[in-house]
Amino acid sequence: MALFTKQEALDYHSEGRPGKVEVVPVKPCSTQKHLSMAYSPGVAESCMAIHEDKELSYKYTGRGNLVGVVSNGTAVLGLGNIGAAAGKPVMEGKGVLFKVFGDVDVYDINLDASDPDKIIEIVKALEPTFGGINLEDIKAPECFYIEETLKKEMNIPVFHDDQHGTAIVTAAGMMNALEISGKKVEDMRVVVSGAGAGAIACTNLYKGMGVKPENIAMFDSRGHINKSRENLTPTKLAYATDKEYGSLAEALVGADCFLGLSVKDIVSKEMVKSMADNPIIFACANPDPEITYNDAKEARPDAIMGTGRSDYPNQVNNVLGFPFIFRGALDCRATAINEEMKLAAAKALAALAKEPAPEYVCKAYGVDKLEFGIDYIIPKALDLRLIEFVSVAVAKAAMDTGVARKKLDLDAYRVELRERLGASKKRVSDFIATYNLDF
């Protein structure tokens, strides 16, 4: 049953103040003195301090808690290339999630530009404004080039969530699925349906976990990616194998893991039945997976399965990652989000799933309990402990790998995060009450 009608969704975005976000001042502006400090002449003091030391922009402006969500609307959700203006509601929504889950402020930047070099030029010029850049809904292969170039040329974290968010969450699920099934990562045979940004990033992270490249079979819309194929992009060529599979069904025979980031209904019950014992299945096509949860479990009750849907166990939801990854990166003033930080986030998510779920989480999802096992290998998005587990792990990895410009006392930081989230939720609640909003 649908949770809402089309009209309800349109009303949600249009009634009252249009859109989903607004800018709210955080300093008093009720007296002449306040105004003179906020703008002229008092603002000159902070301007000149930053002019002498650019790092002071993190002290005297909101830059240190501000992320730019940048998109050109060429690969929006399941909607495709709908353009920057049509993609803006998604980017505003991303800002809402950043704020609610991680207390990170966001400006959404929607660019009417398709030339990757033009996008790079624009985003680079925005560096003085932001503490980090979240690239969003930019189509492959351009997104790879844009992200890699910006990472090299900017001194703040640049993160393409469509790639790395899904990778981190499924990597966490795989870590726990390996433990439950008794499989060894170095022996895993993985079949991937899809060769876009998310699929490539997931597979790259799995390699970082220990999956051998020769044990990976990746498929795009033209079939299996192998060395006999011509005109492969560099990202696809990295997964071209000597062995050739004639079909997805052939590759899945005896496979330990299936990752789907492609289209619905391309995996049958028979294909799932042919997989190895305790198959690990991440069917993440959105909104309808490559095979439904019910069909996969009917075919193989021993399957450890996740989808992008919230109405079945083990939801692969990027909100488990990006608010907390940026929170940790911003707080230690990281210059990048590197592979070690991504793996640290995945390990933190895996660890949290092993902790007993609080009563409020169970109540929110309409269950009596949530315990580590095949139906609970990934934490739930409404678990308030996520910010402590993930952000602390990310900040520690940043410090350990030398990309942090600020040293944090991790025990004190954990307490600070808990208090910060509580204060943020109170501000949001007070705002809702003040404006008589119904959320």
User: Torsions phi, psi of 161, nearest 5?
Assistant: -65, -35
Q: Is 436 annotated as a binding residue?
A: no
Asked if the model's pLDDT at residue 432 lies above 60, the reply is no
Q: Is 314 annotated as a binding residue?
A: no
Structure confidence at residue 3 (pLDDT)? 75
Q: Is 65 annotated as a binding residue?
A: no
Structure confidence at residue 79 (pLDDT)? 87
In a domain, 45, yes or no: yes
Between the alpha carbon of residue 172 and those of residues 165, 253, 323, 343, 397, the distances in Å are 11, 24, 16, 9, 16
Residue 256 DSSP label: S
Q: Is 137 annotated as a binding residue?
A: yes
Asked if the model's pLDDT at residue 438 lies above 50, the reply is no
Between the alpha carbon of residue 346 and those of residues 110, 324, 394, the distances in Å are 29, 11, 10
In a domain, 232, yes or no: no
Tokens describing residue 69: 């969500």
Q: What angle do CA 342, 344, 347 make, to 5 degrees?
A: 115
Between the alpha carbon of residue 344 and those of residues 219, 319, 397, the distances in Å are 28, 16, 7
Residue 407 DSSP label: -
Q: Is 331 annotated as a binding residue?
A: no
| Candidate list 94, 347, 380, 396, residue with the active-site label | 94
Give the tens place of pLDDT for each residue, 128-163.
Answer: 999 999 999 999 899 999 999 999 999 999 999 988
In a domain, 47, yes or no: yes
In a domain, 141, yes or no: no
Residue 289 DSSP label: -
Active site annotation includes 58: no
- As a whole number of angstroms, the distance between CA 121 and CA 65 comes to 23
Q: Which domain range does residue 52 map to?
A: 31-60
In a domain, 40, yes or no: yes
Based on the structure, what is the number of domains in the chain?
1
pTM of the model: 0.92
| Candidate list 12, 33, 39, 59, residue with the active-site label | 39
Give the tens place of pLDDT for each residue, 256-311.
Answer: 999 999 999 999 999 999 999 999 999 999 888 999 999 999 999 999 999 998 88
Active site annotation includes 354: no
- As a whole number of angstroms, the distance between CA 264 and CA 283 comes to 9
Confidence of residue 1 (pLDDT cuts 50, 70, 90): very low
Give the tens place of pLDDT for each residue, 39-76.
Answer: 999 999 999 999 999 999 999 999 999 999 999 999 99
In a domain, 299, yes or no: no
Q: What is the largest CA-CA distance in the chain?
A: 75
In a domain, 50, yes or no: yes
In a domain, 52, yes or no: yes
Give the tens place of pLDDT for each residue, 7-27.
Answer: 999 999 999 999 998 888 989
Asked if the model's pLDDT at residue 82 lies above 80, the reply is yes
Asked if the model's pLDDT at residue 239 lies above 70, the reply is yes
Structure confidence at residue 430 (pLDDT)? 58
